[in-house]
Chain A
Amino acid sequence: MTTPATATAVALAASVRAGERSAVEVVEEHLARIAARESELHAFNHLMAGDARAAAARVDERVAAGEGLPLAGVPVALKDNLCTRGVPTTCSSRILEGWRPPYDATVVSRLQRAGAVVVGKTNLDEFAMGSSTENSAFGPTRNPHDPSRVPGGSSGGSAAAVAAGFASLALGSDTGGSIRQPAALCGVVGMKPTYGGVSRYGLIAFASSLDQVGPFASTVEDAAVLLEAIGGHDPRDSTSIPGGLPGVVDGLAAGVEGVRVGVARELIDGCDTDVRARVDAAAAALADAGAKVEDASLPSAVHGLSAYYLIAPAEASSNLARYDGVRYGLRVDGDDITEMYTRTRAAGFGAEVKRRIMLGTYALSAGYYDAYYGQAQRVRTLIIRDFERAYESFDVLLGATAPTVAFPFGAKSENPLSMYLSDVFTIPSNLAGHPAISVPYGTGADELPVGVQVLAPALGEPVLFRVAAALERSLT
Chain B
Amino acid sequence: MGARLSRDDVAHVAGLARLAVTDEELDRFTEQLAAVLDHAADVEALDIADVPPTAHPLPLVNVLRDDVVTPCLDRDEVLAQAPAIEAGMFRVPRILGEAP
Q: Interface residues, chain A, CB within 8 Å of chain B?
A: 99-100, 102-103, 195-196, 209, 235, 238-239, 241, 302-303, 305-307, 309-310, 317, 321, 324-331, 333-343, 345-346, 349, 351, 354-355, 357-359, 361-362, 365, 368, 371-372, 374-382, 384, 416-417, 420, 431-433, 458
Contact = CB atoms under 8 A, between A and B. Distances in A.
A336 B58 contact: no
A378 B46 contact: yes
Contacts of A384: 54, 57
B46 A340 contact: no
A374 B16 CA distance: 20
10 tightest A-B CB contacts, nearest first: A433-B57, A377-B53, A331-B83, A346-B20, A238-B63, A342-B20, A380-B54, A378-B51, A306-B40, A341-B18
A418 to B, nearest CB: 10
Given A337-B93, A375-B48, A358 B39 contact: no
Contacts of A326: 82-83, 90, 92
- Chain B residues touching A, range: 35 or more
Interface in B85-100: 90, 92-95, 97
Contacts of A380: 53-54
B36 interface: yes
A357 B19 contact: yes
A327 B81 contact: yes
A106 B77 CA distance: 19
Given A102-B77, A378-B53, 19 more contacts: A100-B81, A102-B81, A209-B57, A306-B41, A309-B40, A327-B82, A336-B93, A339-B93, A342-B20, A346-B19, A357-B19, A358-B29, A375-B48, A377-B54, A377-B55, A378-B48, A379-B46, A384-B54, A458-B57
B9 A416 contact: no
A357 B54 contact: no
B43 A416 contact: no
A307 B51 CA distance: 14
28 contacts: A196-B60, A302-B42, A306-B39, A326-B90, A327-B81, A329-B83, A330-B83, A336-B93, A336-B97, A337-B92, A337-B93, A337-B94, A342-B18, A345-B19, A349-B19, A354-B19, A362-B5, A372-B40, A374-B53, A375-B43, A377-B53, A378-B51, A379-B46, A379-B48, A381-B53, A381-B54, A382-B48, A384-B57
Contacts of B43: 303, 306-307, 310, 372, 375-376, 379
Interface in B10-50: 10, 13-14, 16-21, 25, 29, 32-33, 35-37, 39-44, 46, 48-49
Contacts of A306: 39-43
Contacts of A351: 25
B68 to A, nearest CB: 12
A416 B32 contact: yes
B92 A340 contact: yes
A26 B48 CA distance: 57
A431 B37 CA distance: 19
B67 interface: no
A202 B42 CA distance: 36
Contact of A361 (B16, B54, B56, B82): B16
Contacts of B42: 302-303, 306
A162 B49 CA distance: 46
Contact of B82 (A195, A196, A328, A338): A328
A99 B81 contact: yes
Contacts of A241: 58
Nearest to A385: B51
Contacts of B90: 326-327
B72 to A, nearest CB: 10
B19 A328 contact: no
B21 to A, nearest CB: 7
B78 A195 contact: no
Nearest to B10: A358
Contacts of A420: 36
A416 B20 contact: no
Contacts of B56: 209, 239
B8 interface: no
Contacts of A334: 93
Q: Which of B2, B5, B19, B42 has the most CB of A within 10 A?
A: B19
A365 B40 CA distance: 16
Nearest to B82: A327
A102 B78 contact: yes
Nearest to B81: A328
A469 to B, nearest CB: 26
A375 B44 CA distance: 6
